Amino acid sequence: MVEQLLILGVVASAVYALLSLGFTLSFGIARIVNMAHGSFFMLGAYFYFYYGARGFGKLDVFPSLILAAITVAIIGAVFYRLAIHSVMGDDVALIVVTIGGALVFQQAVTIIFGTGHVTINPLMEGAIHISNVAVTYSKILAITISLSLFACISIFISKTKMGRAMKALSQDREAAMLMGINTEALATLTVAIAGAMGAVAGTLIPASTSQMADPFMWTPPLTIAFAVVILGGLGSIKGTLVGALILGFSETAVGLYFPEGGFLKTAVALGVMVTVLLIRPRGLFGKRIELEE
């Protein structure tokens, strides 16, 4: 049981880190609370399924994955330009629009694929055995892919010119504009990247663990991404990693010890989020303190 916890926990943590990184980027840089972020997760799984099983003559694992990520990235960018861009100032409108978007995606997928599950094949067959436990290659692959992508994006943010521009944007939008940085383009790119990462995450989890996807699977990732980012601290990449670890393991633990309690997972993530917001709003490694009270 403990080994299972360990393995699954690591998988969960790694993938959640990737998912949440996308969220923290769009929250911190594009300054939007994208309620449809979980939809990227769901859409990623479905596109992976589609490209692999039906479209383009049954693509292989990696091409499907990459294509799915690209497709969702484009969807994210379009969604941003069309819907989000125009309601930027208004908090309520933004939430209404992004939830609306999420529901539109949900319904669209339901119409095309039906409300039931869709089977996602594992990334790779076979497993290695570490001290009596079978660790599937899928899981190892999931961990590797997530962590490498996470590292790539982090390096991109800190080392490249564009990445530093994004960071500037997250700290002071007006100043960034004055510096000649094309904030709109950058924000759109951020959402696209968030989309891509969410899509990869959405593929890796089903492909390595649950083996299934349904149109409603966008809400748990949303809650988790929120909770991870709040826990780790807004704007902190290190925080996202740590937050993902904590939440990944707690969630897995809850899932293992209470197999019937699907809702408990969401409740745990929520509980963490609310607790952090009440006790230490800036999270573990967050930099900005909210002045109000």
Partner 1 sequence: MHLLEVENLTKRFGGLTAVNNVSFHIDEGEIVGLIGPNGAGKTTLFNLITGFLKADSGTVKLRGENILGLAPHKIVNKGLARTFQVVRPFRHLPTIANVLVALQSPRGSDKIEWIKTPERKALELLEDVGLSEMMMEPAEILAHGDLKRLEIARALGTEPDLLLLDEPFAGLNPIETDLLTKSLQTIHLDGHTMVIVEHKLRALMKLAKRVLVLHYGEKIAEGSPEEIAKHKKVIEVYMGKGK
Partner 2 sequence: MVTIYLRRAYRSFALHILDIPSRLMALLLIVLFLAIPGILPANPLMSYLLSVLITASVMAIFASSWDLLVGRCGQISLGHSIFYGVGAYTTALLFRSYGLPSWVGILIGVLIAAAISLPIGFPALRVKGPYLALVTLALPLIATSIVFALKDITGGENGLPIPVEGRFFQLTNIHNLRIAEYYLTFLLLLVSAIIIHKIANSRTGIVFVSILDDEMASKACGINVTRYKLMAFAISATFAGLAGGVNVHLLLSASHGDFSLTLSFFAVIMAVLGGMGTIYGAIVGSYIIYFLDMYFLRMVVDVPDVWHVLIFIVPVVLLVIKWPRGIARFVTDELEDLSEERPLEERGKRIWKKYRRKKKSANEG
CB of 102 to partner 2, least distance (A): 9
Which among 39, 144, 167 is positioned nearest to 100, based on CA atoms? 39
Q: Computed over its alpha carbons, how large is the radius of gyration of the chain?
A: 18
The residue from 3, 54, 107, 184 that contacts partner 2 (CB under 8 A) is 107
Q: What does the alpha-carbon distance between residue 14 and residue 253 come to, in Å, rounded to a whole number?
A: 15
Q: Residue 289 binds which one of partner 2, partner 1, none, with CB within 5 to 8 A depending on kind?
A: partner 1
* Buried b or exposed e, range 126-160, using 16+ CB within 10 angstroms: eeeeeeeeebbebbbbbbebbbebbeebbeebeee
270 binds, among partner 2, partner 1, none (CB under 5 to 8 A by kind): partner 2
Q: How far apart are CA 246 and CA 232, in angstroms?
A: 9
110 binds partner 2 (CB under 8 A): yes
Q: Which of residues 261-290 bind partner 1 (CB under 8 A)?
A: 289
Q: How far is the CB of 188 from partner 2 (least distance, A)?
A: 17
Contact status: 103 vs partner 2 (CB under 8 A): yes
Partner from partner 2, partner 1, none contacting 223, C-beta within 5 to 8 A by type: partner 2
Q: Give residue for tokens 């209404």.
A: 96
Q: Is 177 helix (H, G, I), strand (E, B) or coil?
A: helix
**CB-wise, 2 or 291, nearer to partner 1?**
291
Q: Is 260 in the site for partner 1 (CB under 8 A)?
A: no
Contact between 226 and partner 2 by CB under 8 A: the answer reads yes
Q: Is 293 in the site for partner 1 (CB under 8 A)?
A: yes
- In angstroms, the CA 172 to CA 181 distance is 11
Told to check if 91 binds partner 2 by CB under 8 A, we report yes
Residue 236 as a binder of partner 2 (CB under 8 A): the answer is: no
Residues 254-259: contacts with CB under 8 Å, at least 24 apart: 255/8, 256/1, 256/4, 256/5, 256/8
Q: What are phi and psi of 224, to 5 degrees?
A: -65, -45
Site for partner 1 in 109-148 (CB under 8 A): none
Size of the site for partner 2 (CB under 8 A): 40
Smallest Cα–Cα separation from 14: which of 158, 139, 155?
139
Give me the residues that bind partner 2 (CB under 8 A), please.
33, 35, 83, 86-87, 90-93, 95-97, 99-101, 103-104, 107-108, 110-111, 219-220, 222-223, 226, 230, 260-263, 266-267, 270, 273-274, 277-278, 292-293
Residue ranges that bind partner 1, judged by CB under 8 A: 289, 291-293
